[in-house]
Amino acid sequence: MLSELHTIFRRGLLVALGFAILVISGRTLLLLGMMQPVVVRGSSMAPTLEGERWTIACPHCQRTLTIGVDQLASRPAPACLICGSLLADESLSLTPADQLVIDRTDSRLDRWDRVVFHCPHDALELCIKRVWGLPGEVMTIAEGDVFADGVRLAKPFSRQIEVRRLEHRSTGFRPRWQTDGGWRLDGDRWQGEPVEGKPSSLTYDAVVHDDHPGNVAVRRRFNQVNDLMIDVSAQTEPAAVWQLMLPGGHATLDTRRGLASISNHQGERQTPLATSTPRRVQFSNFDHRLVVGIDGQELLSLPANDAATGPPPTVRVLHGRVTLQDLSLYKDIYYEGVPLAWGATGDQPWLIGPDEYFVLGDNQAVSVDSRRWETTPGLPRRLILGRPYRRQGW
Ligand SMILES: [Zn+2]
């Protein structure tokens, strides 16, 4: 193990983090059946899929943070990386790697599917990444987003939910939502109503960056992330009208008229809104598309070409009273296309062959993938094993 580690570290730390993803849990099972069990190794798909890791559950800020053992081999210091609190021993544990099975019976791959394949640099290793580019496409990366043949790829809402990462949860340490007077925090709930007939706003007062506190082995500059998602449980009076605002536009939930709408300077769309309450409401501007979701299902969407500018995340109440619980802010993955400095040859645009896929890891800062392979950016179809599933379902 030690010599293996030394070998890995000679290749450079980032390469080590990104290359070794999956280890076959029993080599004899290989090729025996069409469902193949594997365990995840490494941080390249974190936080959606993780290898063995340290889990820090902080009772002070109520956040759970993980650090892959590939990034930190020894027990971390007993302190929360988010709020800085000193932690008791029981807040820190070693969590075993996620277990997956590979479905080898179905070789169809769609964009955004996870895929397991023989690593191009070492056919004895298995890698897991997410499909972004399909055969024959020309891929580029800009503003944190991925483009195919010049078109910005907009993830369906279900994929947004899959890859989003938590930035802040309102009830924790260090509240970041600021009220202009009409909102008050009552235990773990925000209650808002207009003041003297004027709308009241609750505004997120911090810049969001593409940092991932679990990437303790990585030093790099951070990018500002504008692709955000507000996700909150809302209880409203029957006559309430309230709004969720993000750069690029805003959503209005009007329980008086039973309507949900999205609007910005490019237009407005609306759809009936069932009146039952409470439920979870999502509003996102990922990939220049505004989406309203109810309980994780897309309800309504609108293009937003100026999603890099505009108001910070805001909840605004225009009529009636709204009670919010578990007000959470999530962010999209922010991809960088610039090849890092260890000699990888990849540079954009990446031309994907007729029998190849463009694949990226979810933990973009450490993942060695189509952007960074020294051979060709395309993943040849012949190296693909299949799509992975969690043993207990996703
Ligand atoms: Zn904490």
DSSP string, 236-287: E-TT-EEEEEETTEEEEEETTTTEEEEEETTEEEEEE-----SEEEEEE-GG
70 vs 124, which has greater pLDDT? 70
User: Is the per-residue pLDDT at 8 higher than 50?
Assistant: no
Task: Find out whether the peptide bond into 194 is cis, omega within 30 degrees of 0.
Answer: no
Distance of alpha carbon 77 from alpha carbon 118, whole angstroms = 36
User: Is the per-residue pLDDT at 156 higher than 90?
Assistant: yes
Mean of all residue pLDDT scores within the chain: 85
CA 83 to ligand 1 center in whole angstroms? 4
pLDDT for residue 131:
97
pLDDT for residue 351:
93
> DSSP readout, 45-106?
TTTTS--SEEEEE-TTT--EEEEETTT--SPPPSB-TTT--B--GGGEEEEPPPEEEEE-S-
pLDDT for residue 355:
95
pLDDT for residue 350:
92
pLDDT for residue 9:
39
Distance of alpha carbon 75 from alpha carbon 89, whole angstroms = 11
Q: For 225-270, what is each residue's pLDDT tens digit? A: 999 999 999 999 888 999 999 999 999 999 999 999 999 988 999 9
Domains of the chain: 2-51+97-141+336-390 (2.10.109.10), 158-331 (2.60.120.560)
Q: For 169-179, what is each residue's pLDDT tens digit? A: 876 556 789 99
User: Do 213 and 65 contact (CB within 8 A), yes or no?
Assistant: yes
Helix and strand numbers (H, E) in the chain are 3, 30
User: Is the per-residue pLDDT at 342 higher than 70?
Assistant: no
pLDDT for residue 172:
57
394 vs 227, which has greater pLDDT? 227
Picking from 10, 20, 5, the residue whose alpha carbon sits closest to that of residue 119 is: 20
Bridge partners of residue 323, in order along the sequence: 191, 235
CA 71 to ligand 1 center in whole angstroms? 20
pLDDT for residue 18:
53
CA 84 to ligand 1 center in whole angstroms? 6
Tell me the pLDDT band of 379, cut-offs 50, 70 and 90.
very high
User: Is the per-residue pLDDT at 329 higher than 50?
Assistant: yes
pLDDT for residue 81:
83
Strand ranges for 145-188 from DSSP E:
145-148, 151-152, 165-169, 177-179, 183-186
Bridge partners of residue 117, in order along the sequence: 127, 384
Q: For 175-226, what is each residue's pLDDT tens digit? A: 789 999 999 988 889 999 999 999 999 999 999 999 988 898 888 889 999 9
Quote the tokens at residue 242: 């309230």
> 7-11, 136-140, 220-224, 331-335: lowest mean pLDDT where?
7-11
Residue 375 carries which DSSP code?
Answer: S
CA 325 to ligand 1 center in whole angstroms? 20
pLDDT for residue 192:
96
Tell me the pLDDT band of 29, cut-offs 50, 70 and 90.
very low
| Mean pLDDT for the stretch of residues 77-81 | 86
pLDDT for residue 30:
47
CA 57 to ligand 1 center in whole angstroms? 8
| Mean pLDDT for the stretch of residues 148-158 | 97
CA 62 to ligand 1 center in whole angstroms? 6
Residue 209 carries which DSSP code?
Answer: B
Active-site amino acid positions: 44, 129
Tell me the pLDDT band of 392, cut-offs 50, 70 and 90.
low
| Mean pLDDT for the stretch of residues 130-150 | 96
